[in-house]
Amino acid sequence: NELSKCKDFLNAEFRHYCISIITTRLAVKNRDSTLCDSILLELRPECQTAVAVTALDLALCDKAVGEPTSDRFTVPTCIGEIAAVKGDASYCEKITTAAYPGECLRKVAIATKNLALCQTLYKGREIKDHRFWCHTRYAVENEEAQVCQEITEPTYRDGCYKEVAKN
């Protein structure tokens, strides 16, 4: 049993992470989110999100509830991951949390190489920072520095070029 390896950790935190990693791998392999229920509560959303994304099952995202301030393993993040894998921005419409639809669209824009999605962030509301961030992440992830030219604000444009150069 792989979990027996975790007993070697004297530090409880390391032991819990070990159990979480092995259990998540097993849950993903078997596409069984109930296995995630056996791990520490604060580590559970990562496992549940991994299973939901692997299975491309939005219903499983409802179980991926993390801390309200967490931006990694929450229901909206789970939906965004599935949207990116499927390349379908319509999934982003299912996200009602204010900050997350844009994050979802950014992920889909990068995954599908559809820069036009960056223009649709936040359903037409003028939130420049987020659109610029989408352009920057798109440029970095797709290694397309020319995308930075589309950013009209000089500070954000320079930041975009800087990020592309760093990576």
DSSP 128-142: HHHHHHHHHHHHHHT
- Mean pLDDT calculated for residue range 20-46: 92
Q: Which residue has the tokens 């909206």?
A: 76
pLDDT at 71: 46
- Mean pLDDT calculated for residue range 97-108: 77
CB 108 within 8 A of CB 138: no
pLDDT at 54: 95
pLDDT at 92: 87
Residue 67 gets which letter from DSSP? Answer: -
- Mean pLDDT calculated for residue range 1-5: 85
Lowest mean pLDDT among 10-14, 51-55, 117-121: 117-121
- Mean pLDDT calculated for residue range 19-45: 92
pLDDT at 44: 87
At 19 the three-state DSSP class reads helix
pLDDT tens-digit profile of 120-160? 764 444 455 666 888 999 999 999 999 999 888 899 899 99
What six digits make up the tokens of 27? 């849950």
- d(CA 62, CA 120) in angstroms, rounded, equals 26
Q: Is the pLDDT of residue 31 over 80?
A: yes
pLDDT at 136: 92
- d(CA 162, CA 4) in angstroms, rounded, equals 46
pLDDT at 69: 46
Tell me how far CA of residue 17 lies from CA of 9, 41, 78, 99, in angstroms.
10, 12, 20, 29
Nearest to 62 by CA among 72, 77, 84: 77
pLDDT tens-digit profile of 37-95? 999 888 888 899 999 999 999 888 887 765 554 445 578 888 999 999 999 999 988 88
pLDDT at 62: 80
Angle, in degrees to the nearest 10, between helices 154-166 and 128-141: 30
End-to-end CA distance of the chain: 40
Chain center to CA of 125: 22
- d(CA 4, CA 31) in angstroms, rounded, equals 22
